[in-house]
Amino acid sequence: MGEIVFTGGSVFDGTGGPAFPGEVVVRGDRIAAVRPGHSLAPGDEDATVIDCSGSTVMPGLVEGHAHLTFPSAVGHLEPGFNPPVDVSFFQRPPSAHEHLALAERNARILLDAGFTSAYSAGSLTPGNVEVQLRDAIASGKVPGPRLRAASFERDNNPVRHGAENITPTGLRRFIAEQAALGFDAVKLLLSNDDVFVPGGSMQTQYTAEEAAAAGAAAREAGVWLNCHAQNPESIKLAVRNGFRSVYHCSYADEEALDLLEEHRDELFTAPAVGIMWANVHEAHEFGIDHATAERMGSVAQLEAQIALYPEMRRRGIRVLPGGDYGFPQTPIGRNARDLQLFVDLFGYTPAEALVAATKRGGEVMDMADELGVLAPGFLADVLVVHGDPTQNIALLQDAANLTVIMQGGNLHKRTR
């Protein structure tokens, strides 16, 4: 039959119900059965049996705000990509070919960390490197998380884009161009950020007319809109114009929260709290001391997010872990740490954090009916984690605990 049976462990299926002693049966690229108990059924003798004693079988993780074209990954730190402290990376930018190779390396590292899917929050450079990466992964040429690709981040800054481009017409053209390049989503910096400009997080960079034009152009071109949105006005522009991913939201006010809640079945947020945490607590060695973290807005943003996201959770707004990995202080491959921060800072239970990274991940990938939970007919993205991450979410951060990583029925990793 060519079946693979995960037996002997406990099953966390991604829906949020408690883990239970059970088996998961995989046939081809799909899950054939999920069942309680540990008795291999008759006929399973031909199957490949994977002993999961002492382990938890769960869905593959989904990174909700990926930047696979950012240069730093575990074991490959790039100190020159660390704004505003050091941006020397851009003095010798990689060629498109080099950039694709770098992104392919990052994709493999993210898959090795248990992330079998990733939703991009934007490309670092213009061009279509991320589209090529997505297609290479999809065709099986390159190991990596299945990817939804997002465009270069458009910031509506006349210095960077030329004044003639920052009109509704220029914006429509940009979105049509990115769609033609093959991107699934287009990323706009609806607000600026303190990292780029002092006080930037409170600057809205697009008018209501432009945001409406973006919404219309995206619908016409068949792409999703993602945005960087820190201040209340930018969040409201995003929600009112059909943006699907509204990132950060650190300074959401009551009206913005109400809007997010009202549209919670149509959109996702992701705080990208890992970078804020790292900037405030862990980035001394990369030149970010407390005063610098303050100047970058990280201290205030972290504080604001710690106050805000428990309320997002309470309101049932879909909050995704992950985000802004790819800096030296947040190298790609460390992404599972976000789940711990959801537990430690935002009041999520470990099981809720796991649901955010699995079931909600399937939803943001627009594959809710076949990805993100362990259920018959779903894609066989399966992790075997030594121990019980529903009790100890930190287990996911040590790749040695990930004894099996399966993606679409393919055994990417199996530790014997």
Neighbours of 355 (CB within 10 A): 22
Nearest approach in angstroms of CB 272 to Zn ion is: 6
Nearest approach in angstroms of CB 120 to Zn ion is: 9
Listed ranges 23-31, 249-257, 320-328, 382-390: which one lies at the site for Zn ion (CB under 5 A): 320-328
Tokens 């943006």 found at: 243
DSSP assignments along 12-69, one per residue: --SSSSPPEEEEEEEETTEEEEEEESSPPPTTGGGSEEEE-TTEEEEEPEEEEEE-TT
Footprint (CB under 5 A) of Zn ion, residues 25-44: none
β-pairing, 3-11 vs 20-27, is antiparallel
Tokens 């590292």 found at: 109
Query: What's the rounded Cα separation, in Å, for the pair 316 and 297?
Result: 27
Residue 289 Ramachandran class (φ > 0 left, ψ -120 to 50 alpha, else beta): beta
Six-digit token string for 117: 């899917």
The smaller minimum CB distance to Zn ion, of residues 121 and 304, is found at: 121
Nearest approach in angstroms of CB 372 to Zn ion is: 21
Nearest approach in angstroms of CB 365 to Zn ion is: 17
Q: Does 63 bind Zn ion (CB under 5 A)?
A: no
- 3-class secondary structure, 22: strand
The smaller minimum CB distance to Zn ion, of residues 56 and 330, is found at: 330
Listed ranges 120-128, 218-226, 284-292, 328-336: which one lies at the site for Zn ion (CB under 5 A): 120-128
Name the DSSP class of 298: H
Q: How far is CA 179 from CA 134, 167, 168, 221, in A?
A: 14, 18, 17, 6
Listed ranges 119-127, 230-238, 301-309, 343-351: which one lies at the site for Zn ion (CB under 5 A): 119-127
Nearest approach in angstroms of CB 324 to Zn ion is: 4
Listed ranges 50-58, 117-125, 385-393, 401-409: which one lies at the site for Zn ion (CB under 5 A): 117-125
Nearest approach in angstroms of CB 361 to Zn ion is: 16
How far is residue 151 CA from its own chain's centroid?
A: 15
Query: What's the rounded Cα separation, in Å, for the pair 165 and 109?
Result: 37
Q: Does 52 bind Zn ion (CB under 5 A)?
A: no
Q: Does 155 bind Zn ion (CB under 5 A)?
A: no
The smaller minimum CB distance to Zn ion, of residues 117 and 123, is found at: 123
Nearest approach in angstroms of CB 357 to Zn ion is: 17
The smaller minimum CB distance to Zn ion, of residues 249 and 406, is found at: 249
Query: What's the rounded Cα separation, in Å, for the pair 195 and 383?
Result: 36
The neighbouring-strand residues paired with 51 are: 7
Query: What's the rounded Cα separation, in Å, for the pair 368 and 337?
Result: 24
Query: What's the rounded Cα separation, in Å, for the pair 317 and 263?
Result: 8
Task: Pick one of 121, 270, 317, 354: the residue that binds Zn ion (CB under 5 A).
Answer: 121
Nearest approach in angstroms of CB 195 to Zn ion is: 11
The smaller minimum CB distance to Zn ion, of residues 121 and 299, is found at: 121
Length of the chain: 416
The smaller minimum CB distance to Zn ion, of residues 230 and 241, is found at: 230
Q: Does 104 bind Zn ion (CB under 5 A)?
A: no
The smaller minimum CB distance to Zn ion, of residues 271 and 350, is found at: 271
Q: Does 150 bind Zn ion (CB under 5 A)?
A: no
Nearest approach in angstroms of CB 65 to Zn ion is: 6
The DSSP H or E segment spanning 176 is helix 168-181
The smaller minimum CB distance to Zn ion, of residues 245 and 407, is found at: 245
The smaller minimum CB distance to Zn ion, of residues 213 and 238, is found at: 238
Query: What's the rounded Cα separation, in Å, for the pair 317 and 17?
Result: 19
Taking alpha carbons only, the member of 394, 362, 267, 276 closest to residue 319 is 267
Q: Does 324 bind Zn ion (CB under 5 A)?
A: yes
Q: How many residues bind Zn ion (CB under 5 A)?
A: 2
Listed ranges 9-17, 166-174, 319-327, 344-352: which one lies at the site for Zn ion (CB under 5 A): 319-327
Nearest approach in angstroms of CB 268 to Zn ion is: 13
Listed ranges 110-118, 195-203, 322-330, 342-350: which one lies at the site for Zn ion (CB under 5 A): 322-330
Q: Say if residues 276 and 298 touch (Cβ distance below 8 Å).
A: yes
Q: Say if residues 184 and 365 touch (Cβ distance below 8 Å).
A: no
Footprint on this chain of Zn ion (rule: CB under 5 A): 121, 324
